[in-house]
Chain A
Amino acid sequence: MAHTKFPVEVLTPEGEVFNEEVEMLSTHTALGSIGILANHEPVLALLEPTELRLYRSESEIVRFAQAEGYLQFTENRALVLVEEAIAPDQLDRATLETRLRDARSSLEQAQEGSERQARARRDIRRYEAFLAVGQ
């Protein structure tokens, strides 16, 4: 059965990457995975790096590797703000692996409880998620 569609806008600092009507949006918030259908209640959520899925229909799915960001759903419109949203075939494994290695070595050098440690952990999560999407 076809679902009602609702508009979704995906914005990154480097520009808009998606602006269409979809049947469902699925991603991962700080509290767990979330699926949004039309007429969902208003929500403001923190997003974790993961695969963002936009269902144009049940069989046609647009996918992005999504970095940390925010999801806002109000008045039957979804706004996804993320630092990066990359189509899976645009992911550069070699670069991601280097960055992941850098982040891991930064984590090893970081002091317990420091800001550097927190940021290194966050980077590792992002690059691991991206690599998983690329597979």
Chain B
Amino acid sequence: MASQRDVKSKIGSVKNIQKITRAMEMVAAARLRRAEQRIAALRPYANAIRRMTRQAAQAAGGAESARVPLLAEHESESAVAVLLVTGDRGLAGAFNSQVIRAGVRMAGELGQEGLRSSWYATGRRGVSSLSFRGYELEGSYVGFSDRPSYADARTIADDLMTAYVDGRVDRVEMVYNAYISPLRQTVTHERLLPLTKATIVGEEPSDGEEVEEETRSHAAVEYEPDPEQILRRLLPDYVEISVYRALVESTAGFFGAQMTAMRSASDNAGEIITELTLQMNRARQAEITQEIMEVVAGAEGLR
């Protein structure tokens, strides 16, 4: 049986671990709030872009009339770009591994259809895990998963769009952790390219009021330059916004997952401490009993 002192030092170290996990939990909670604000900050911009696109598309006579490479499906598919969005750091439960697993599974399915996967990854975890498994990365983006900026998303989106337009890949898929709530992230697949009309124009506004307002504002709008060129420039923004949204949602999801993981680590540490304290008390009791028995035995011997 472990001596009293051994157990005591073990309790000390578990308590230290608990202090660290508690601190990490609180840091993650604070960062989660900031990440949530960034998700909220994107919404007005994304909505305004969508409204503007609808207006430009109407003025240009429908999105189909614009011959934009990002909208054009390639005639035959041979390569698919797969973008995995992970975090730079671990200690967040299954957060990173579930994205990597989903991505690898997807590549397997694509392989069965005779399609080659071309890998892109953000976050050190995804990059190192993929290279460890022997996949060659076309693009790796690290160092910003705690606080992704729009410029980061733009770099990634640019690489993907360039690969698509220049014909190196025929489709672009993205796998990331979508942020549902601090306690929930779901692995989500999203097709980035080719863009579909549905993603761009979205559902038609349901309430008649908005439609009316929009048609009225179209009345005599001056376009600089013509609506088709404006539309052409708006389309890449969708890819950028999608990538940016995935990055910020993944960041929020990461801190949520880390918060949960650290909370259960702290709880586990608490349980271990209780158990060890019990063990220590038992050891102390055993020592006392032992001593009493020795004293009694000694007294008996003197009689």
Contacts and interface: CB of A to CB of B under 8 A. Distances in A.
A114 B159 CA distance: 12
A26 interface: no
Given A70-B52, A114-B166, A13 B241 contact: yes
Interface residues of A, number: 29
B225 to A, nearest CB: 5
B45 A13 contact: yes
A72 B49 CA distance: 11
Given A31-B225, A46-B229, A41 B220 contact: yes
A30 B229 contact: yes
Contact of A13 (B42, B165, B166, B219): B42
B150 A115 contact: no
Contacts of B151: 84
B252 interface: no
B241 A42 contact: no
Contact of A115 (B153, B166, B227): B166
B203 interface: no
B222 A41 contact: yes
Interface in A9-40: 11-16, 29-31, 34
Contacts of B46: 13
A20 to B, nearest CB: 16
**Which of B44, B153, B234 is most buried by chain A, counting CB atoms within 10 A of its CB?**
B44
Interface of A: 11-16, 29-31, 34, 41-46, 68, 70, 72, 74-75, 79, 81, 83-84, 114-116, 119
Interface of B: 38, 41-42, 44-46, 48-49, 52, 55-56, 69, 149-151, 153-154, 158, 161-162, 165-166, 217, 219-225, 227, 229-230, 233-234, 240-241, 244
13 contacts: A13-B150, A14-B38, A30-B224, A45-B223, A45-B224, A46-B225, A70-B49, A75-B217, A81-B45, A81-B48, A84-B151, A116-B166, A119-B158
